[in-house]
């Protein structure tokens, strides 16, 4: 690949200092992250650690006033008699306060003595996971070591310079900084409670006897502490290693008796006598570890002629008025980069902002939103060959199911199995939130565990790892099924779910009340049927024959089927309802289209048409993550023109005021809700992958929704269910070449423009090459 092509498709650039942390370039290794601001004469690194959360272990149902069978029966009775207001009043009594917040640990300001200038150049190379800053004759590099675990910052200058480092934080210090050889350590107090930004409370950030965090920084050369700063001797090259840690260990993380400062210092590793050689060795190990994941999958599309001459911010703006398919490829790669940088080596999944956050509290506490956003952030994990990055989410799901999820099902709902609602955090929160006044339309949604469980089946569908399915996934699926069996109601003539919501949306009830609470939302039915299907398939693979499987399948079969309303759109509720938010950003009733694949143009054409009408009925405008979801939905519907329209909207400049429901991109490529949500980035990557390859039907679909504006291009390393890696070259909108590599012996059927329908036998590890125009196999 030429240098210009690589830079157009894999490098982000800026010619100015980041004005806010959401303009900074992010680096991360799944545990530690830094956002690199840049500027002439100085660099600021905002620091994050995936284990830095507010809170302490506690009662999963703290604050709940009503719980158990009787409380739930009262809600169901109110819904049955049409008293939506009473149902909501009772549900408010089942709320806990809120989930805890993912915290910024702090920042490090790096100042180079005697170097000034009017401008700077910044870049982020996705192929090396390295952020660079240049001004005058000084060059900075920052990376989060993918092999060693620390954050490394290196400075090179044409002349010897002295460097000063200052540590800062929004958190309270636990005491004065501590000196270590050529470095310093700052210990910090982590709050025991942080309220979300929308909450009204007298003490939004509360400290007490809880956990601590620490930031440690060490220079590879001689350095001393002066006036609270780490100051080096003059040199042409400076290398700093930064470690972060928290203690005690958060659930799901390795246990250790060490305190936070000791852990942070340990993360620095050893610096030998030859600092330059050690830095080079570390960087080479980092590159090998990063590239092993990043280089597995790539899309090549032509870029605008001046793409490498513009900053990413300028390129985003220019693409609104001219063709630049390469920008979509760059953001495809950026989504994968953000996923692999923020979800590795840990039992905690990425947050709503990935591994990066500089605010207390961050947007929506920078926690986990499980009614779409957490799931969306992992849609690209299997399809774009980052299965290892899926693992932190799967570990978290298993912990949630075995812990607080089981408590919530049993004690709050009087049900078997496990359940989770729409918010969670590092402590595994599973109950409804809202502090007794949160709208049940978003606060009460017991399908969170059902949807999360489906990720475990998807993992098997791609990897075929039967040992993982039997030992780790099946117990979670079976437990979610037990909850479903308890939750689904039957009155002798029908089965239904109650109370039921369609996340965050509202309708006009029969009594004129605006509510989000009713029975058998379309999303409930779709998720429960998907769970039953996954359990049936998993049981067949494992040779399990238990009576509850057939019972669950029978119950979900007679739940209300998806229906089409008089206006041609998909019905969202149990019967025709008047929408009070006709342009709502959530398309929860279309979950059966994507990601579940219960609705397809070939198997269910009338429902597919209704799904298309539903997307259009919500209006053209929406949030960044909603545009990404729509991209994937149009891909499932086989509409490449609509896919391109959604991508173009998702890749426009984000609104300057940062408010409203208009998606776009910030200067560093982050997707704006606004504010920044990482699922907008990774969801868009998943949508592009879905436009190029689909494997949810009986056959593999090549280029099923190729945008007509991309007549020629290629993709390498996409993954299909069944364990097949797929490379595709296309010309004039048709398949020119396909290369297949399977993990196991299998027979597949595939189709696509220019290739027709073909069946091929694949042998494990043996590539198969197909060139349809020359009829070469």
Which residues have C-beta within 8 Å of that of residue 305, sequence separation ≥ 6? Answer: none
Distance CA 446, CA 524 (A): 9
Question: According to the model, what pLDDT value does residue 739 have?
Answer: 97
Model pLDDT, residue 510: 87
At residue 502, the pLDDT reads 97
Q: pLDDT value at position 421?
A: 98
> What DSSP string describes 201-256?
-S-SEE--S--EEEEEEEESS-EEEETTEEEEPPEEEEEEEEEEEEESPPTTSPP-
pLDDT-derived band at 85, boundaries 50, 70, 90: very high
**In this prediction, what percent of the chain has a pLDDT beyond 70?**
98
Backbone angles phi, psi at 239, to 5 degrees: -125, 130
For residue 474, is pLDDT > 80? yes
DSSP per position, 656-711: TT--SS--EE-TTSPEESSSB-HHHHHHHHHHHHHHHEE-SSSSEEESTT--TT--
Confidence of residue 300 (pLDDT cuts 50, 70, 90): very high
Phi–psi pair at 358, nearest 5 degrees: -120, 15
d(CA 612, CA 636): 10
- Report pLDDT for 299: 98
Contact 539, 573 (CB under 8 A): no
Residues 6+ apart with CB under 8 A from 350: 50, 339, 342, 343, 377, 392, 678
Cβ–Cβ < 8 Å for 729, 706: no
pLDDT band at 117 (very low <50, low <70, confident <90, very high): low
Average pLDDT, the chain: 95
Give the pLDDT score at 1.
63
Q: Which of 268-272, 344-348, 736-740 has the lowest mean pLDDT?
A: 268-272
Residue 210 pLDDT > 90: yes
Report the distance separating Cα 325 and Cα 297, nearest Å: 17
Cis peptide before 595 (omega within 30 of 0): yes
Phi-psi map region of 30: left, alpha, beta (phi>0 left; psi -120 to 50 alpha):
left
User: Average pLDDT, stretch 433-437?
Assistant: 96
Q: Are 729 and 712 within 8 A, CB to CB?
A: no
Contact present, 739 and 727 (Cβ < 8 Å) = yes
Confidence of residue 655 (pLDDT cuts 50, 70, 90): confident
Taking 90 as the threshold, does the pLDDT of residue 649 lie above it?
yes
If you average pLDDT over residues 154-177, what whole number do you get? Answer: 96
How confident is residue 492, by pLDDT bands cut at 50, 70 and 90? confident
Helix (H, G, I), strand (E, B) or coil at 539: helix
Task: Report the half-sphere exposure of 531 (CA within 13 A, side-chain side).
Answer: 31
> Torsions phi, psi of 529, nearest 5?
-65, -40
Query: What is the three-class DSSP state of 71?
Result: helix
Query: What is the C-alpha separation between 745 and 78, in angstroms, rounded?
Result: 56
Q: Which residues touch 768 (CB under 8 Å, ≥6 apart)? A: 739, 740, 741, 760, 762, 777
Distance CA 408, CA 348 (A): 20
Would the pLDDT of 472 be above 90? yes
From CA 608, how far away is CA 600, in angstroms rounded? 6
Residues 179, 130 contacting (CB under 8 angstroms) = no
pLDDT at 777 over 80: no
The pLDDT, as a whole number, for residue 398 is 98
Of the candidates 231, 213, 191, the residue with the CA atom closest to the CA atom of residue 98: 191
**Both tokens of residue 369?**
């939103």
3-state SS, 418-484, equals CCCCCEECCCCCCCCCCCCCCCHHHHCCCCHHHHHHHHHHHHHHHHCCHHHHHHHHHHHHHHHHHHH
pLDDT at residue number 257: 85
Rounded to 10 degrees, the C-alpha dihedral 483/485/488/490 comes to: -150
Tokens coding 450: 């059902």
**Per-residue pLDDT at 116:** 66
pLDDT attached to residue 164: 97
pLDDT in tens, 388-410: 999 999 999 999 999 999 999 99
Half-sphere exposure of 10 (CA within 13 A, CB side): 20
CA atoms 526, 527, 530, 536: torsion sign: negative
Confidence of residue 658 (pLDDT cuts 50, 70, 90): low
The answer, yes or no, to whether residue 776 has pLDDT greater than 70, is: no
What is the enclosing helix (H) or strand (E) of 42?
A: strand 42-49
Q: Does 551 score more than 70 pLDDT?
A: yes
pLDDT of 2 higher than 80: no
The span from the CA of 269 to the CA of 148, in Å, is: 8
Segment 240-260 mean pLDDT: 91
pLDDT digits (tens, 9 = 90+) for 693-752: 999 987 899 999 999 999 999 999 999 999 999 999 999 999 999 999 999 999 999 999
For the cut 70, the answer to whether the pLDDT of residue 297 exceeds it is: yes
Distance, first Cα to last Cα, the chain: 26
**Cα gap 43→27, rounded to integer Å:** 14
**What's the rounded mean pLDDT across residues 288-315?**
96
Exposure letters 365-395 (e unless 16+ CB within 10 A, then b): bbbbbbbbbbbbbbbbbbbbbbbebbbbbbb
Of the pLDDT bands very low, low, confident and very high (cuts 50, 70, 90), residue 493 is: confident
């Amino acid at each position: 690949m030429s240098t210009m092509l690589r830079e157009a498709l894999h490098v982000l650039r800026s010619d100015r200092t980041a004005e806010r942390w959401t303009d900074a370039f992010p680096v991360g290794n799944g545990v530690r992250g830094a956002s690199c601001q840049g500027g002439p004469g100085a660099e600021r690194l905002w620091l994050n650690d995936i284990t830095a959360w507010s809170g302490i272990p506690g009662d999963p149902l703290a604050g709940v006033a009503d719980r158990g069978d009787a409380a739930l029966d009262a809600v169901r009775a109110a819904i049955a008699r049409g008293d939506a207001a009473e149902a909501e009043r009772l549900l408010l009594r089942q709320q806990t306060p809120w989930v805890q917040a993912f915290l910024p640990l702090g920042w490090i300001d790096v100042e180079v003595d005697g170097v000034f200038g009017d401008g700077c150049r910044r870049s982020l190379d996705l192929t090396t996971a390295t952020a660079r800053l240049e001004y005058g004759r000084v060059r900075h590099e920052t990376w989060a070591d993918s092999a060693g675990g620390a954050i490394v910052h290196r400075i090179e200058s044409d002349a010897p310079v002295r460097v000063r480092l200052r540590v800062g934080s929004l958190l309270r210090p636990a005491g004065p900084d501590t000196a270590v050889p050529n470095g310093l350590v700052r210990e910090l107090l982590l709050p025991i409670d942080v309220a979300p930004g929308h909450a009204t409370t007298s003490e939004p950030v509360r400290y007490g006897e809880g956990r601590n965090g620490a930031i440690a920084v060490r220079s590879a050369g001689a350095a001393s502490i002066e006036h609270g700063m780490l100051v080096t001797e003059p040199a042409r090259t400076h290398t700093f290693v930064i470690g972060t840690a928290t203690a005690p260990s958060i659930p799901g993380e390795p246990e250790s008796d060490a305190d936070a400062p000791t852990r942070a210092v340990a993360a620095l590793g050893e610096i030998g006598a030859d600092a330059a050689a050690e830095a080079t060795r570390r960087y080479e190990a980092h590159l090998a570890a990063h590239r092993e994941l990043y280089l597995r999958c790539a899309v090549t599309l032509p870029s605008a002629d001046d793409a490498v001459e513009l900053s990413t911010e300028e390129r985003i703006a220019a693409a609104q008025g001219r063709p630049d398919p390469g920008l979509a490829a760059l953001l495809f790669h950026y989504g994968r980069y953000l996923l692999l940088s923020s979800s590795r080596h840990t039992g905690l999944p990425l947050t709503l902002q990935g591994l990066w956050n500089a605010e207390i509290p961050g947007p929506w506490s920078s926690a986990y939103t499980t009614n779409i956003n957490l799931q969306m952030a992992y849609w690209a994990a299997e399809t774009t060959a980052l299965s290892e990055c899926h693992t932190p989410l799967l570990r978290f799901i298993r912990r949630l199911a075995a812990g607080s999820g089981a408590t919530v099902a049993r004690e709050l709902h009087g049900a078997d199995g496990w359940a989770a609602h729409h918010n969670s955090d590092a402590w595994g929160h599973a109950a409804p939130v809202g502090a007794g006044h949160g709208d049940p339309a978003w606060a009460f949604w017991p399908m969170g565990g059902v949807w999360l469980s489906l990720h475990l089946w998807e993992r098997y569908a791609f990897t075929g790892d039967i040992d993982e399915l039997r030992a780790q996934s099946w117990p979670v699926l079976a437990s979610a099924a037990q909850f479903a069996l308890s939750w689904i109601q039957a009155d002798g003539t029908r089965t239904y779910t109650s109370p039921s919501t369609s996340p965050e949306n509202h309708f006009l009830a029969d009594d004129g009340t605006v509510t989000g609470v009713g029975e058998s939302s379309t999303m409930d039915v779709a998720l429960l049927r998907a769970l039953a299907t996954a359990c049936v398939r998993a049981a067949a693979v494992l040779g399990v024959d238990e009576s509850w499987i057939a019972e669950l399948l029978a119950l979900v079969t007679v739940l209300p089927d998806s229906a089409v309303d008089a206006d041609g759109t998909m019905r969202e509720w149990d019967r025709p309802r008047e929408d009070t938010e006709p342009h709502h950003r959530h398309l929860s009733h279309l979950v059966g289209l994507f990601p579940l694949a219960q609705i397809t143009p070939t198997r269910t054409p009338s429902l597919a048409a209704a799904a298309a009408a539903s997307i259009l009925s919500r209006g053209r405008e929406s949030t960044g993550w909603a545009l990404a979801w729509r991209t994937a939905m149009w891909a499932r519907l086989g509409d490449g023109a609509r896919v391109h329209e959604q991508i173009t909207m998702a890749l426009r400049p984000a609104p300057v005021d940062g408010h409203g429901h208009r998606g776009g991109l910030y200067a560093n490529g982050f997707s704006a809700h606004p504010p920044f949500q990482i699922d907008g980035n990774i969801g868009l990557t998943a949508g592009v992958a879905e436009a190029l390859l689909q494997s949810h039907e009986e056959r593999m679909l090549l280029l099923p929704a190729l945008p007509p504006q991309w007549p020629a291009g290629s993709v390498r390393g996409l993954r299909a269910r069944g364990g097949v890696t797929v490379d595709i070259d296309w010309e004039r909108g048709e398949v020119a070449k396909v290369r297949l590599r399977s993990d196991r012996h299998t027979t597949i059927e595939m189709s696509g423009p220019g290739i027709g329908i073909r069946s091929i036998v694949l042998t494990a590890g043996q590539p198969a090459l197909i060139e349809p125009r020359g009829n070469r196999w």
